């Protein structure tokens, strides 16, 4: 009799345990991440690098993802609200311009985390930001340009006049003059991140003024700079990622500003419940900002130049080169 009672008790406990497990499984929800960009996810630059981060979250975190491309500023709040209502755990606005929209809707959705890239916006609750160290990226580009030039004239060309691009241009100037204080640095912003012809015209103008190394930070429009460089037999340096196969004759290097990994790291923290809304910045030290050479043109970069660039990277990592202190005050934030 006692054995029967004991068996019955064990069976009941097992049944309760199974029901409990079932309820736990039911409670497990899909981790959902949405990305809002104002460009194309295949632009080969700024928007695509964010989309790559979204794909990483899908692959590594098993996240259910959504993306809104070519989003107009007038629709920012609407898209944010829609994604929040659809149950997304994390909504990412790719660019400082999304900050106001995030702040406007955040209180309505306290359980949704809004993260803005290339910004310092935060409410300390459910709006945070992550930015890349654009001054460091530009510093690397400018240093390489100054080490490679034969004319002592280099140039930087930006697309839209936004903080991320402007800071890269400032960093380029700092890096070039760190190598050679007497170097001539030409700089311009075309005002357009899509018009490659406009960027090409600007590049040709700089080349006519003696520039033999040009840096572009203009999203898809940067391709116009690469074309001009190849036509005139000078070198170009890309931003964010380098299309080395497409521009194998002139595109000698690119910064690798890995916002995709930054986005993945934030998504991981949100999924684990460890993310704290604040303003974070990642650079050379964190492995997010780096300089890569074209496999097709690396032989054009001497070992001496590569050694000097490695030394600069080490000094940026250690803080011996502090680009924030070197930069004009208005670009230090």
Q: Are residues 116 and 174 in the same domain?
A: no
In a domain, 15, yes or no: no
Q: Are residues 51 and 158 in the same domain?
A: no
**pLDDT number for residue 247:** 93
Q: Are residues 99 and 188 in the same domain?
A: no
In a domain, 159, yes or no: yes
Residue 8 has pLDDT above 90, yes or no: no
Q: Give the residues across from 154 on adjacent strands.
A: 185, 213
pLDDT category at 186 given cuts 50, 70, 90 is: very high
Q: Say how many domains are in the chain.
A: 2
Q: Are residues 120 and 225 in the same domain?
A: no
Taking only the tens place, the pLDDT of each residue in 213-256 is 999 998 888 999 999 999 999 999 999 878 999 999 999 999 98
Backbone angles phi, psi at 216, to 5 degrees: -125, 135
Distance between CA atoms of 186 and 126, rounded to whole angstroms? 41
Q: Are residues 120 and 148 in the same domain?
A: no
Q: What is the mean pLDDT of residues 269-280?
A: 95
Q: Are residues 97 and 177 in the same domain?
A: no
pLDDT category at 163 given cuts 50, 70, 90 is: confident
State both tokens at 159: 């697309």
**pLDDT number for residue 118:** 87
**pLDDT number for residue 7:** 52
Q: Are residues 192 and 320 in the same domain?
A: yes
Q: Are residues 41 and 147 in the same domain?
A: no
- Residue 165 · residue 280 · CB < 8 Å: no
What b/e string do you get for 120-141 counting C-beta neighbours within 10 Å, with b at 16 or more? bbbeeebbbbbbbbbbbbbbbb
Which residue range forms the structural domain that includes residue 203? 134-257+302-331
**pLDDT number for residue 267:** 97
**pLDDT number for residue 256:** 86
- On average, the pLDDT of the chain sits at 91
Q: Are residues 250 and 151 in the same domain?
A: yes
Q: Are residues 46 and 160 in the same domain?
A: no
Q: Are residues 94 and 223 in the same domain?
A: no
Q: Give the residues across from 116 on adjacent strands.
A: 93, 129
Over pLDDT 70: what percentage of the chain? 92
In a domain, 13, yes or no: no
Q: Are residues 243 and 264 in the same domain?
A: no
- The residue among 221, 287, 304, 266 whose CA lies nearest residue 92 is 266
Taking only the tens place, the pLDDT of each residue in 287-315 is 889 999 999 999 999 999 999 999 999 99
In a domain, 17, yes or no: no
- Residue 127 · residue 270 · CB < 8 Å: no
Residue 185 has pLDDT above 80, yes or no: yes
- Residue 291 · residue 141 · CB < 8 Å: yes
End-to-end CA distance of the chain: 78
Q: What is the mean pLDDT of residues 42-63?
A: 92
What b/e string do you get for 208-225 counting C-beta neighbours within 10 Å, with b at 16 or more? eeebbbbbbbbbbbbbbb
In a domain, 10, yes or no: no
Q: At what angle do helices 134-148 and 303-318 cross, to 10 degrees?
A: 160
Residue 62 has pLDDT above 80, yes or no: yes
In a domain, 99, yes or no: yes
Lowest mean pLDDT among 137-151, 175-189, 201-215, 230-244: 230-244
**pLDDT number for residue 46:** 79
Residue 44 has pLDDT above 80, yes or no: no
In a domain, 211, yes or no: yes
- The residue among 321, 326, 49 whose CA lies nearest residue 170 is 326
**pLDDT number for residue 10:** 53
What pTM, to 2 d.p., does this model score? 0.75
Taking only the tens place, the pLDDT of each residue in 95-146 is 999 999 999 999 999 999 999 998 989 999 999 999 889 999 999 999 999 9
**pLDDT number for residue 125:** 97
- The residue among 261, 212, 208 whose CA lies nearest residue 52 is 261
In a domain, 113, yes or no: yes
Which CATH number belongs to the domain containing residue 185 in this structure?
A: 3.40.50.2300
**pLDDT number for residue 90:** 98
State both tokens at 262: 């930054």
Residue 27 has pLDDT above 70, yes or no: no
């Amino acid at each position: 009799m006692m054995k029967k009672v004991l068996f019955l008790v064990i069976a009941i406990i097992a049944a309760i345990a199974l029901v409990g497990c079932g309820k736990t499984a039911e409670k497990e929800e899909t981790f959902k991440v949405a990305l809002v960009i104002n460009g194309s996810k295949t632009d080969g630059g700024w928007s695509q690098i964010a989309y790559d981060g979204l794909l990483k979250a899908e692959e590594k975190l098993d996240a259910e993802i959504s993306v809104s491309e070519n989003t107009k500023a007038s629709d920012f709040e609407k898209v944010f609200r829609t994604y929040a209502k659809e149950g997304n755990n994390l909504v990412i606005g790719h660019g400082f311009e999304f900050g106001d929209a995030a702040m406007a809707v955040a209180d309505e959705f306290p359980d949704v985390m809004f993260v803005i890239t290339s910004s310092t916006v935060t409410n300390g609750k459910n709006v945070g930001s992550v930015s890349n160290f654009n001054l460091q990226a530009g510093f690397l580009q400018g240093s390489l340009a100054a080490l490679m030039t034969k004319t002592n004239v280099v140039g930087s060309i930006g697309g839209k006049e936004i903080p991320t691009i402007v800071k890269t241009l400032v960093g380029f100037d700092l890096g070039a003059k760190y190598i050679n204080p007497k170097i001539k640095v030409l700089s311009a912003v075309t005002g357009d991140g899509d018009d490659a012809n406009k960027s090409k015209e600007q590049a040709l103008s700089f080349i006519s003024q003696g520039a033999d190394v040009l840096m572009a930070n203009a999203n898809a429009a940067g391709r116009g700079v690469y074309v001009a460089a190849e036509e005139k037999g000078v070198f170009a340096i890309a931003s964010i990622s380098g299309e080395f196969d497409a521009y194998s004759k002139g595109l000698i290097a690119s910064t690798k500003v890995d916002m995709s990994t930054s986005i993945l790291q934030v998504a991981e923290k949100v999924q684990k419940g460890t993310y704290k809304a604040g303003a974070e910045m990642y650079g050379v030290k964190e492995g997010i900002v780096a300089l890569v050479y074209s496999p097709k043109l690396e032989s054009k970069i001497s070992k001496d130049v590569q050694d000097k660039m490695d030394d600069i990277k080490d000094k940026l990592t250690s803080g011996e080169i502090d680009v924030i202190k070197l930069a004009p005050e208005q670009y230090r934030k």
